[in-house]
Structure 1
Amino acid sequence: MNDLARTMSLSASGLKAQAARIKHVSENISNVDTPGYRRKTVAFTLEETGTETRAVRTGPVRLSQADRERIHDPSHPLADASGTYEGSNVDLMIEIADARQAQRSYEANLKAFDQARQMMAGLLDLIKR
């Protein structure tokens, strides 16, 4: 029973981590046209004790250091003397792919959690008999 509880705990931490990733992807998508915005990414780490994985944790949020797009628009309030300003460095196609990957990972963790829950319920039913 302890292994099933650990499985559920690990799946729950994976759900939280993917939810954080989806949050940052949605922020990036909403700021795709914001001048000067830098893409946010989050890394995952495993919390381990010996040979046992305890949880998935999110690391610090990182800002992308990729070059931001230079946009020529002399009428824009942020334009410099040459008539250009820096846009964001968010690529919408990458964000959509990241969102799809996070969604699928979330669903996989949810299925693992549900399977462990069903197995635990079945085990409890057997013990009651």
Structure 2
Amino acid sequence: MAVESADELGIAFGTAILGSVLLGFYRTGLADTAPADLPGGVLEAAQETLAGALLYARELPGELGEALATADTDAFTSALSATGGIAALILLAVGIFAGIMLRGVSSQADLTETEDEPDHEPTTAP
């Protein structure tokens, strides 16, 4: 039970951190690429979620809406790519750490040695 809770906590913690990184990259990317002539408050609202940004883009007239939709999807794609790269680096680091920590540990040693059984029969003196 404790192991399952630890696994769930680790997954939730990793999701929260990577989700925050993703949102940070998305907000920055959208701020850099969004059209300059957006109505007041639209950029801030669009930076909250991709779905919300696309809804705003549908409501804006003509080219302004298309430009916002393009900026939204480009910012999200770039953010997802950067976050995936960070996650891959973390996974690589964990793999290297595990390899270093498990170096010299034999998986067969635990199967062949038991503490309950002696290696040889005890000898008695005559």
After TM superposition, the score normalised by the length of structure 2 is: 0.42
The structure richer in strand per residue is 1
RCO comparison, higher one (Cα < 8 Å, 6+): 1
- Which one has a bigger Cα radius of gyration? 2
After TM superposition, the score normalised by the length of structure 1 is: 0.41
The structure richer in helix per residue is 2
